Amino acid sequence: EKGAYPYYMLKEIDDQPAVMRRIVQEYTDTLGRTVIDEDIIKQITASDRIYVIACGTSYNAGWVGKAILEKMTNIPVEVHLSSEFGYNMPLLSDNPFFIFLSQSGETADSRQVLVQTSELGLPSLTLTNVAGSTLSREADYTLLLHAGPEIAVASTKAYTAQIAVLAVLAKAVGDSKANPSSLDFDIAHELSVIATVIESIIAEKMTISQLVEDYLATTRNAFYIGRGVDYYVSMEASLKLKEISYIQAEGFAAGELKHGTIALIEEMTPVFGVITDKKTAAHTRGNLKEVESRGARNFVIALSSLAKETDQFVIPDVHPLLTALVSIIPTQLIAYFATLQRGYDVDKPRNLAKSVTVE
Ligand code: F6R
């Protein structure tokens, strides 16, 4: 029920701290150890490559998951769009393990891949928000997102839940391999910190609303740029903005813009820079300077420890592997307010359905 909320999307953005805490409760014990089916961990530990298969927002979550999984498990991870993978399957490794990401568990594009991998006898795990959904029933294993029903067409809490559950899974596999980077990672604590930080960001939503009025009121297009995980967040941030506000938005690798797409920067084009990674912060700032000198209006979302006084939105520091869980929050609110201010239906964008059951 959306209760006092004007739209489900706003309620679901607000749900995210509780979802983070629920994931901690469901997937860790009182000593902070992960609680995940041993068979899943054995299968993944025995595999030489993880293939993440998904569409849309779930696909974008998969990229963040890749960064976390590789770091914790030392197993290479590939992320693929379901609709491409099914018909142009790449050469597979000797012992692949498949992870299907699907909020609804009903996405036809993803299901057709699962049908094929099952026929090949390859092990599979579905991460879904819906118990008993098709992808859950047909995969060997399921991990539930525990995000609660997601009603708004634009996915918000399922994205952060997918990343959080993938992080728990990465920790479980990493621990079973006694990887130091995993053993040192207190996932229960880090996700609890994240929950509190998300609350503090949501508390600033009126600031974001005002910034959106200033930056996006009349614009035709916008860009999100970043590097590494900040690039993956940029892809999701731009999908969210375009699908509900109809502002044409592109998420771009910050360093790649100058290889062509920078031609689209005009006087006053909004460019959102996402900066949460120490090793790339200076480079992304350099790229923001490049677009600014071509007329762009920059909007910087930066982690506190990397922030400059002129940045538009600063987020408190969290564990370096989990920054996507907090940097995505202002971008969800940006999409929400841009849509509200343009007078569109936030929860029901045109041409879209909540679950896509055709290929
Ligand atoms: C975007 C959105 C879609 C879905 C995509 C996959 O906000 O909701 O891009 O993420 O259709 O859906 P699931 O995760 O249900 O397979």
C-beta 110 within 6 A of ligand 1: yes
Q: For residue 102, how far is its CA from the centre of ligand 1 (angstroms)?
A: 7
Angstrom distances, CA of residue 82 to CA of 56, 140, 215: 10, 18, 35
**Residue 112 CA, distance from chain mean position:** 23
The predicted pLDDT at position 353 comes to 82
Give the pLDDT confidence of 269-303 residue by residue, as tens digits: 999 999 999 999 999 999 999 999 999 999 999 99
C-beta 107 within 6 A of ligand 1: yes
Give the pLDDT confidence of 49-108 residue by residue, as tens digits: 999 999 999 999 999 999 999 999 999 999 999 999 999 999 999 999 999 999 999 999
Residue 1: pLDDT over 80? no
C-beta 108 within 6 A of ligand 1: no
Q: What is the pTM of this model?
A: 0.98
Q: For residue 248, how far is its CA from the centre of ligand 1 (angstroms)?
A: 18
Residue range 319-346: average pLDDT?
A: 98
Closest CA to 346 of 243, 251, 272: 243
Residue 153 alpha carbon, nearest atom of ligand 1? 8
Q: What is the ipTM of this complex?
A: 0.99
Cα atoms found within 13 Å of the Cα of residue 54, Cβ hemisphere only: 29
Would you list the DSSP string of 82-103?
HHHHTTSPPPP-SSEEEEEEES
Q: Quote the mean pLDDT of the chain.
A: 97
Which residue matches tokens 């993938």? Answer: 166
At 134, the pLDDT band (50, 70, 90 cuts) reads very high
Hey, what are 166's tokens? Answer: 């993938």
Hey, what are 273's tokens? Answer: 């820079």
The predicted pLDDT at position 356 comes to 85
Give the pLDDT confidence of 4-49 residue by residue, as tens digits: 999 999 999 999 999 999 999 999 999 989 999 999 999 999 999 9
Distance CA 191, CA 206 (A): 25
Q: Which residue has a Cα nearest atom 7 of ligand 1?
A: 154
Distance CA 131, CA 146 (A): 9
C-beta 92 within 6 A of ligand 1: no
Q: What are phi and psi of 343, to 5 degrees?
A: 80, 20
User: What's the DSSP call for residue 320?
Assistant: G
Q: Find the largest Cα–Cα distance for the chain.
A: 56
